[in-house]
Amino acid sequence: MAWQSVPNPDDIIDVGKKKFSDFSKWFPVAVVVLLILLGLRSLIYSIGPDEVGVVQRFGKFIGLSSPGLHAKIPFGVDRVTPIKVEKVFKEEYGFKTIESGVNTRYSSGDYRNQSLMLTGDLNILDVRWIVQFKIKDPVKLLFATRRPEDNIRDISEVVMRRFVGNYSVDEVLTTKREEIDDLAQQEIQRILDIYNVGVHVITVKLLDVNPPETVKSAFNEVNEAKQEKEKMINQAWEAYNKVVPKARGTAEKTIREAEGYALDKINRAKGESERFLDTLKEYKKSPEITKKRIYLETLADVLPKAKEKYIIDSKQTSILPLLEINKKGGQQ
């Protein structure tokens, strides 16, 4: 076995003391450098183009910072919280999107505690909707309420349940969906403003409204019966609109013809009476002349219609010779 020299313990202690002495000289310098680096790192901060920075000093709000690079007091004295004021946030109710895109994937969880609602005519519907909003006041968002997202979700759910309960199941499914959207948006915004949540509601949109799976078959049968009823009513109205307007038109035509006939008779009678009165007036002015004129006018109207004409002398006692002459002349 080769012999090895064993180091002297005093020499080991002396080397340790020398190294510790060297470290103690450089330790304060290292601490100062580290603090400077940390301070420089926390001195500069940046705010994105779609953000606003909320600046707090010792926890107290002191102002807002615009997009860009800024400086603040380091070591936790100033704290800046960036808030996205241009982004449109979306809250989903009755479903949850895992990944959006061309092939959107949804969560398979059970959200019926959010979506099942009772309508005004005591029917149950599975209602799914979204609420889109933007942050309009970052200060109120951070300091006026403790959990603004929970407030938005709770208020939206309460408002939607209330409005769905004000309408019948057919109205919620078909005709009143846009009206419910508008009313719910206004009401959610009103309540959020009361609580100073600091958000602006952009859209409230009903997406899917369906009966629950357990009653869907019965619900479809009822809808089919209602559609058949509407079809029969429409067919009846179609037949009514074909027959009744035609009958009304015929009746109107008959009435107008009768009125025209009556008006013609009245106008003719008025004309005859006026003509008679005018003749009477002229007759009273000169009876002989008027009498003669009437006589001549009557002859002018009657003679062209006569087949045979006999001119008799006033002194003639009999017209037989004239008749005989006329017959002889006719035979020749």
* pLDDT tens digits for range 106-159: 787 888 888 899 999 888 899 999 999 999 999 999 999 889 999 999 999 999
Strand-by-strand arrangement of the 51-57 sheet = 60-65, 51-57, 78-84
Structural domain of 32? 19-84
Residue 11 falls inside a structural domain: no
Instruction: Please check whether residue 4 lies inside any domain of the structure.
Output: no
Distance CA 170, CA 62 (A): 53
Q: Are residues 145 and 200 in the same domain?
A: yes
Q: Is the confidence at residue 82, as pLDDT, over 90?
A: yes
Residue 150 lies in a domain: yes
Q: Are residues 94 and 189 in the same domain?
A: yes
127 and 48 in a common domain: no
Q: Are residues 80 and 97 in the same domain?
A: no
Count: domains in the chain: 3
In this structure, the answer to whether residues 76 and 159 fall within a common structural domain is no
Mean pLDDT for all residues in the chain:
81
Residue 12 lies in a domain: no
Are residue 53 and residue 130 in the same domain, yes or no? Answer: no
Does residue 296 sit within a domain? Answer: yes
Q: Is residue 259 part of a domain?
A: yes
Last residue of a domain, one of 38, 65, 84: 84
- Indicate if 200 and 243 belong to the same structural domain: no
Q: Given this model, what pLDDT does residue 4 score?
A: 45
| 1: in domain | no
Query: Are 48 and 68 contacting, i.e. CB atoms less than 8 angstroms apart?
Result: no
Same domain, 95 and 147: yes
Q: Which residues of 157-167 are buried (b: 16+ CB within 10 A; e: fewer)?
A: bebbeebbeeb
209 closest CA partner among 183, 182, 166, 170: 170
One domain, residues 114 and 28: no
Same domain assignment for residues 59 and 125: no
pLDDT band at 210 (very low <50, low <70, confident <90, very high): confident
**Residue 201: inside a domain, yes or no?**
yes
